[in-house]
Amino acid sequence: MTQPTYPRFHLAFPVTDLEAARGFYNGTLGCPTGRESDRWIDFDFFGHQLVAHLVGPEDHPSAAANTVDGHAVPASHFGVIMEWDQYERAVEMMKANGIDFVIEPYVRFAGREAEQATLFVKDPSNNHLEFKAFRNIEMLFAKDLESY
């Protein structure tokens, strides 16, 4: 795999079952594993380092939500911004693997410069993930998408 020329992020997050996390991130999403112990697993999440750390269910944070574009978007989430065709393939893979969508795949600002596709899923520990794509990646940090 060719390494990106931009900085990659590292995110450590809590899971309540390491083997269920392995099944979801490695088995379902296809993220290769790296180093691991009996308390954590490294995953290559689209070139970024995710580290699933085992915690007790009582120590896992709750998920508050904010309304965005008419959807209850989990306030605590992480994800990846993909190329449009890569996003479409990910949607088909998720459907084929029977992944339940927290927010079904949909397109915002259709036909406009800021057009973007997004979806939300959750892992077995109830961590929320967003997958999204922009038709025009230059709009990623646009301040007022509503006007585009």
Q: Which of 122, 17, 29, 21 is nearest to 74 (CA)?
A: 122
What's residue 2's pLDDT?
A: 65
pLDDT at 6 over 90: no
What's residue 68's pLDDT?
A: 87
47 close to 145: Cβ distance less than 8 angstroms:
no
| Separation of alpha carbons 27 and 34, rounded Å | 14
Q: Which domains does the chain have, with CATH numbers?
A: 1-56 (3.10.180.10), 64-148 (3.10.180.10)
pLDDT at 63 over 80: no
Neighbours of 126 (CB within 10 A): 17
User: What digits encode the pLDDT tens for the residues 94-124?
Assistant: 999 999 999 999 999 899 888 999 999 999 9
138 close to 145: Cβ distance less than 8 angstroms:
no
In sign, the C-alpha dihedral spanning 97, 98, 103, 105 is positive
